[in-house]
């Protein structure tokens, strides 16, 4: 393939170190790759299944990227919408969901940052789970005026009905978290959570990301990793 992501038979090989998933050299929110030091999200904060009730989140018709077509697709299909890869990429052998407890399972995980062909965003990122796109993110959201998380979502093509949980990992960093019951976003029957983050309330240092956060499939459930047990090295 033309990019840093290669797909071999039944194996996803590739792709971006967390250090390179920064916004203009800054990190809007810390992320961890192991069960022992996982996300700052509190267990039970999200409820899988709540997205079936009430007003639902939606992908806007004028979204700059075909979000619904990209999520769940293979790297080859996803890359048709994106520019060249930025950096070498990263892979590991574990994935996490909040369903509602923080749950780790063995998987072929990879993530990659790509150039935006239109030049509108600083970069577009994709996370792949077992060879399918399960997360998208956008860096350097091209907004104007005071920073607004709802406007950041709108710019990438999303509308979510609920109010986010707000936290400050550092005094100058704001993270807006939309768990399942707030995002109410279902794509191809799968539930998603979302996060908007910004440094110094500066659009140039902003990021929007959505993750698949649905129940584990029976196959994924059979690959659970015990809490506190480090995932296998790549």
pLDDT at residue number 10: 29
pLDDT digits over 27-42, tens only? Answer: 343 333 333 222 333 3
96 or 141, higher pLDDT:
141
Q: Cβ distance 77 to 206 under 8 Å?
A: no
Based on its alpha-carbon atoms, the radius of gyration of the chain, rounded to whole angstroms, reads 17
Please state, in angstroms and rounded to a whole number, the distance separating the CA atoms of residues 137 and 68.
13
DSSP bridge pairs for 159: 58
CA angle 115, 121, 122 (to 5 degrees): 60
pLDDT at residue number 68: 98
First to last CA, the chain: 21
pTM of the model: 0.76
pLDDT digits over 54-67, tens only? Answer: 689 999 999 999 99
If you count them, how many residues does the chain have?
234
């Amino acid at each position: 393939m033309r990019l840093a992501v290669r797909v071999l038979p039944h194996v996803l090989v590739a792709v971006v170190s967390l250090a390179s998933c920064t916004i203009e050299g800054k990190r809007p929110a810390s992320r961890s790759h192991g069960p022992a030091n996982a996300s700052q999200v509190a267990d039970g904060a999200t409820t899988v299944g709540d997205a079936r009730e009430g007003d639902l989140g939606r992908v806007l018709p004028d979204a700059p990227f075909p979000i619904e077509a990209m999520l769940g697709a293979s790297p080859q299909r996803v890359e048709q919408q994106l520019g060249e890869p930025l950096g070498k990429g990263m892979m590991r052998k574990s994935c996490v969901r909040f369903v509602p407890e923080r749950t780790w399972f063995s998987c072929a995980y990879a993530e990659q940052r790509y150039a935006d062909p239109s030049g509108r965003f600083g970069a577009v990122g994709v996370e792949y789970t077992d060879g399918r796109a399960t997360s998208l993110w956008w860096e350097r959201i091209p907004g104007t005026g005071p920073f607004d998380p709802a406007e950041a979502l709108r710019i990438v093509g999303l509308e979510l009905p609920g109010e986010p949980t707000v936290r400050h990992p550092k005094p100058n960093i704001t993270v807006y978290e939309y768990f399942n019951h707030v995002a109410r976003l279902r794509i191809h029957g799968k539930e998603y959570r979302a996060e908007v983050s910004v440094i110094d309330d500066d659009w140039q240092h902003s990021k929007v990301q959505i993750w698949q956060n649905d129940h584990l499939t029976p196959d994924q459930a059979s690959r659970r990793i015990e809490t506190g047990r480090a995932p296998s090295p790549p």
